[in-house]
Amino acid sequence: MRFFSFLFVNATLIGFTFAQGIAVSAPIEGATVKAGSNITVQVDGPLVKQGSIQAAVVIGLLSCSPPCPSPAQEIGKILYNGPYFPTIHFLGPGPAGTQIFENLTVAIPAFVALGPAQLSVTQTNLLNDGSHLVLRSSAVTVLMD
């Protein structure tokens, strides 16, 4: 029964929420980030598919004024490079209250250029058959303070 309802929720969510891809939902665009602090990066994303054997993300910080280069071109300083397994969080009623994300804590270097910077998340997702390496990224501009 439990298993069944999980499947149902899962299917419903896929119908609703997921565009393919990942998104940084915290910090938000324009947020101020203190040099030398630890921050939580909330990375929203689809559940890891059955067929993917490895999911990882790289979080990068690049000092730049918008428009910044795409993270695929320039990722900046790598703050995190490791596993990414988002899970379902029920934060409120209805589909809007249900989110899939993983919070990753990163250390912002103490000596970093102040002013605008691009905080990006890039996901590599290797499919089971070895034929596809999927790259997706998302970024927000923050203000280093």
Ligand X SMILES: *[C@@H]1O[C@H](CO)[C@@H](O)[C@H](O)[C@H]1NC(C)=O
Q: Which residues bind ligand X (CB under 6 A)?
A: 26, 37-38, 40, 42, 103, 107
Work out how close the CB of 125 gets to ligand X at its nearest, in angstroms, rounded to a whole number.
Answer: 22
DSSP notation for 92-125: SSTGGGEEEEEEEEEEPPSS---EEEEEEEEEEE
Least gap, CB of 27 to ligand X (angstroms): 8
Nearer to ligand X, 40 or 70 (CB): 40
State which residue, 65 or 103, has the beta carbon closest to ligand X: 103
For the bound state, the minimum distance from the C-beta of residue 48 to ligand X, rounded and expressed in Å, comes to 18
The number of CA neighbours under 13 Å toward the Cβ of 34 is 5
Residue number, 48 or 106, with CB nearest to ligand X? 106
* b/e map 39-76, b = 16+ CB within 10 Å: bebbbbbbebeeeeeebebbbbbbebeeebeebeeebb
Q: Which is nearer to ligand X, 37 or 128 (CB)?
A: 37
